Amino acid sequence: MPNTPLKIASYGEILWDVFPDEKRLGGAPLNVALRLHSFGVDVSMISSLGNDALGKEALALIKEKGLDTTLIQRNDKPTGQVKVTLDKAGSASYEIAQDTAWDAIAWNEKNAEAVTAADALIIGSLAFRESGNILDALDEDSTMAETAVNLEAIEVLAERSKFTVFDLNLRAPHYDLEIVAGLMEAADMIKLNDEELELIVMAMGIEGDTLEDELKMLSAMTETPTVCVTLGSEGAMLYHKGGIHTQVGFPAKVVDTVGAGDSFLATLVYGLLSGETAEDALEVACAVGSLVAGKAGANPMVTNDEINDLLG
């Protein structure tokens, strides 16, 4: 455990996951932030909500959960919403609203100060879905303040970050592979799932005989020393400091998979930055991900007793 609380900045979307019977607060960067907060981490959440009723409700709920809201902006775009559909196995599919508040997180020097002071910066691909179209439209006279392009901001923030974690959330059609490749190269750690890995290795021309080979080659091509792939119920594999670490999945009666990968990532990053071995950090991360998949919503409470019982 670290002698002082870890400081982590999480950048990206805050939105409402709209299920057939209810709505729940979510967004991968917020889910990661809330799980880290539950571990006692000092988290700075960098995002934007709309000046609408949903934005007001979201901000109040985040405050209720005890997360610092200082760097959560408000703008005139609508607060993000995602229609979530669950299949019989609890696996989720998503219909994501376009042109929302988190698509335009305005540049703010306070954001940069928070990232500079943090032990890590966590970003996801969804926050940069509009960047390709916007960058094509920019002229030579455009400035960061005028465009408020998330991608421009993250380039500056990543330069100031001690350790940048890039969480791929490739929801078609909300990504640009060229931008994703650039973000992977800027990161110190990449996390993706097995379907995303398959897409990336095909796009980058990686031809590994095994999953281990693919992780090593992706690490080499992007110059990213740590790469992790989640494998659903089969667990996860981590390439870290030149070694491969594998963890089998823990049994779970899946309620829904929303947020399970986010809690996995939060737990893994926390473990690695806290000085745990890669094996231990990966094991606990898989356990927490499994527990979250067995509960409703992206941010259910997970107790230490539950984690320890699952670990045996």
**Are residues 57 and 154 part of one domain?**
yes
In whole angstroms, give the CA distance from residue 150 to residue 37: 24
pLDDT level of residue 176 (50, 70, 90 thresholds): confident
**Are residues 206 and 124 part of one domain?**
no
**Are residues 248 and 145 part of one domain?**
no
The residues, ordered by sequence, that sit 6+ positions from 190 with a Cβ below 8 Å of its Cβ are 165, 166, 168, 184, 218, 219, 222, 224, 226, 227, 228
| Domain-located, residue 224 | yes
**Are residues 162 and 108 part of one domain?**
yes
**Are residues 116 and 27 part of one domain?**
yes
CATH number at residue 281: 3.40.1190.20
pLDDT level of residue 134 (50, 70, 90 thresholds): very low
pLDDT level of residue 168 (50, 70, 90 thresholds): very high
* Concatenated DSSP letters of 228-270: EEE-GGG-EEEEETTEEEEEPPPP---S--TTHHHHHHHHHHH
pTM of the predicted protein model: 0.91
Counted domains in the chain: 2
Q: Which domain holds residue 149?
A: 1-167
In whole angstroms, give the CA distance from residue 97 to residue 32: 21
In whole angstroms, give the CA distance from residue 35 to residue 44: 13
In whole angstroms, give the CA distance from residue 38 to residue 260: 15
| Domain-located, residue 172 | no
**Are residues 100 and 45 part of one domain?**
yes
Q: Which of 3-12, 147-156, 192-201 has the lowest mean pLDDT?
A: 147-156
Q: Inform me whether the pLDDT recorded for 271 exceeds 80.
A: yes
* Concatenated DSSP letters of 15-72: EEEE-SS-EEEE-HHHHHHHHHHHTT-EEEEEEEEESSHHHHHHHHHHHHTT---TTE
Q: Which of 128-132, 136-140, 226-230, 251-255 has the lowest mean pLDDT?
A: 136-140
| β-bridge mates for residue 142, sequence order | none
**Are residues 15 and 145 part of one domain?**
yes
**Are residues 86 and 18 part of one domain?**
yes
**Are residues 122 and 33 part of one domain?**
yes
